[in-house]
Chain A
Amino acid sequence: MEYRAQSLFLDGELTKHTVPALNIEFYKYIDNAITTIDLQEISKIDSAGIAFIDEILSQLELHPADSLSMNEMVRIAYATFTSAELSPIIAEKKIDIFTQLGSGFITFLKSVKDGTYLIADISYWSFVGIFNKKGQRKGSVIQQALFIGVDALGIIALLSMILGLILALQSAAQLRQFGANIFVADLMAVSMVTEMGPILTEIILAGRSGSSIASEIATMQVTEEIDALKMMAINPIRYIVVPKFHAITICIPLLVTASTLIGIFGGLIIAVTYLDLSATVFINRVFEILTLKDAVIGLGKSYFFAWVIVIIGSYYGFNVKGGAEGVGKVTTQAVVASIFWVIILDALNSLIFYFKI
Chain B
Amino acid sequence: MKEPIISVKNLVAKYGEETILDNISVDIYPQEITVILGGSGCGKTTFIKNILKLYQPFSGSVKIFGKEVTSIDEQEFDDILSRIGMLFQNGALLNSLSIFDNVAIPLEQHTKLSKNVIEKMIKVKLDLVNLSHAINMVPSELSGGMKKRAALARAIALDPDILICDEPSSGLDPLTSASLDELILKLKDLLNMTIVIVTHELASIHRIADRIIFIDEGRLLFSGTLEDAKKTDIHEVRTFFEVGSF
Contact = CB atoms under 8 A, between A and B. Distances in A.
Interface of A: 15-16, 19-20, 23, 46-48, 50-52, 54-55, 76-77, 80-83, 86-87, 89-90, 92, 321-326
Interface in B138-169: 138-140, 158-159
Interface of B: 95-96, 100, 111-114, 116-121, 123-125, 127-128, 132, 135-136, 138-140, 158-159, 186, 190-191
Contacts of B128: 80
B124 A321 contact: no
Contact of B120 (A55, A77, A80, A92): A55
Given A16-B111, A323-B140, A86 B132 contact: yes
A54 B122 CA distance: 13
A323 B124 contact: no
A83 B132 CA distance: 11
A51 B140 contact: no
Nearest to A323: B95
A81 B124 contact: yes
Nearest to B117: A51
B121 A322 contact: no
A83 B95 contact: no
Name B's interface SS. Answer: helix
Contacts of B123: 83, 86, 89
A92 B95 CA distance: 18
Contacts of B114: 20, 23, 55
Nearest to A85: B127
Contacts of B119: 89
A51 B120 contact: yes
Contact of B111 (A48, A89, A322, A324): A48
Contacts of A86: 123-124, 127, 132
A76 B95 CA distance: 35
Contacts of B116: 55
A48 B100 contact: no
Nearest to A21: B112
A148 to B, nearest CB: 30
Nearest to A326: B95
Contacts of A54: 120
A322 B96 contact: yes
Contacts of A83: 120-121, 123-124, 127
A54 B114 CA distance: 13
B122 to A, nearest CB: 8
Of the listed residues B121, B128, B132, the one surrounded by the most CB atoms of chain A closer than 10 A to its CB is B121
Contacts of A323: 95-96, 139-140
Given A55-B120, A76-B190, A80-B128, 11 more contacts: A16-B159, A20-B112, A23-B113, A55-B114, A77-B190, A83-B120, A83-B124, A87-B132, A321-B140, A322-B138, A325-B95
